[in-house]
Amino acid sequence: MFNYTYANPEYFYLFILLLPLIAWYILKEKKQYASYQTSSLEAFKADANRWRIYLRHVLFLLRILALSLLIVVMARPQSSRAWETQTTEGIDIIIALDISGSMLARDFKPDRLEVAKETAQRFISGRPNDRIGLVIYAGESFTQCPLTTDHAVLINLISDIKAGIIADGTAIGSGLGTSVSRLRDSDAKSKVIILLTDGVNNSGSVDPITAAEIAKTFGIRTYTVGIGSMGEAPYPVQTPFGIQYQNMKTEIDEDLLRQISDLTDGQYFRATSKQTLTKIYEQIDQLEKTKIEVKEYSKKQEAYLMFAVGALGLILIEFLLRNTIFKTIP
């Protein structure tokens, strides 16, 4: 009874009227008994029909149950079935990651590249409904992973990235241009590039501003991130005795990165530590929300019939018992 909703719940107040009826029955039963004294109970022990004296209360119980079910019927119990449909409108995102030799600088622990990889993987894990791809660049650029929803594969590919697998340098224009080519044919309503670098554009044949203008043409928003601490940082330097680290000035073309983000309606961020880079990804995550549309449906059905049948059955049983087993002679 309690798994239903009720169209007329006010009828449940009628249960209060059953209390005087029960009280009346109890008082009536007490008045029907007479008291007298006897020296022995042997005559009563032999009465084979004594069980009917106690079971006659079943008739009243059946009537109370029938009335209770009739009250439930008047309250109109209804069963409901609810369901929902969910439509997800994902975002297409390309992460363009600088893997030049300077990304091995150790102002981040263990180095800039490893921190950039780790934060990118965490960002990807938090966006299950989006297609995400990866472009890596140094002196040149190429697509490490096209747009995909198989984020486990993408995260594994990021783990395998090492500095030095392509010619050294910082071709920001090439990295941005390759990212645009990955997104230009996308049908997604929102297309985003997250470009990370720690240097100055000094390689490649594509002008960064030209690449940004092309991105704007295709409606691609670009967030640029400069990675590196302020001042000096320990950079790896090849010497006759192997790679050694020397403190060198951090040079990031922040003006260029701002121009790219402003031109494409994006935003420029500066990451000076692992913590700030993590917060930058969190900000981007908040700025680029996946649209999820949820529609809820419900259907109600009248469920009073079984209560009505139950009440009718109890009334019928009471009638049969009253006119057979518990029949009294006037």
Taken in order of first residue, the domains within the chain and their CATH numbers are 5-34+46-82+300-322 (no CATH), 91-289 (3.40.50.410)
pLDDT at site 90: 81
Q: Is the dihedral of CA 169, 171, 172, 175 positive or negative?
A: negative
- The rounded distance, in Å, linking the Cα atoms of 4 and 12 is 14
Mean pLDDT of the chain, nearest integer: 88
Q: Work out the angle at residue 300's Cα, subtended by the Cα atoms of residues 296 and 301, and round it to the nearest 5 degrees.
A: 155
Per-residue pLDDT tens over the stretch 184-215:
999 888 999 999 999 999 999 999 999 999 99
What's the number of CA atoms in the CB half-sphere (13 Å) around residue 201? 21
pLDDT at site 247: 93
Sort strands 77-89 and 92-98 into parallel, antiparallel or unpaired: unpaired
Phi, psi dihedrals of residue 286, rounded to the nearest 5°: -75, -35
Query: What is the band of 135 on the pLDDT scale with cuts at 50, 70, 90?
Result: very high
- The rounded distance, in Å, linking the Cα atoms of 69 and 73 is 6
How is residue 134 written in tokens?
A: 């990866």
Averaged pLDDT for residues 40-69: 72
How is residue 39 written in tokens?
A: 């020296």
pLDDT at site 6: 87
pTM: 0.65
Work out the burial of residue 203: count CB atoms within 10 Å of its CB; fewer than 13 is exposed, 13-18 middle, 19 or more buried. Answer: buried
Query: What is the band of 160 on the pLDDT scale with cuts at 50, 70, 90?
Result: very high
Per-residue pLDDT tens over the stretch 228-258:
999 999 998 888 888 888 999 999 999 999 9
- The rounded distance, in Å, linking the Cα atoms of 129 and 122 is 14
Per-residue pLDDT tens over the stretch 210-231:
999 999 999 999 999 999 999 9
How is residue 195 written in tokens?
A: 């470009």
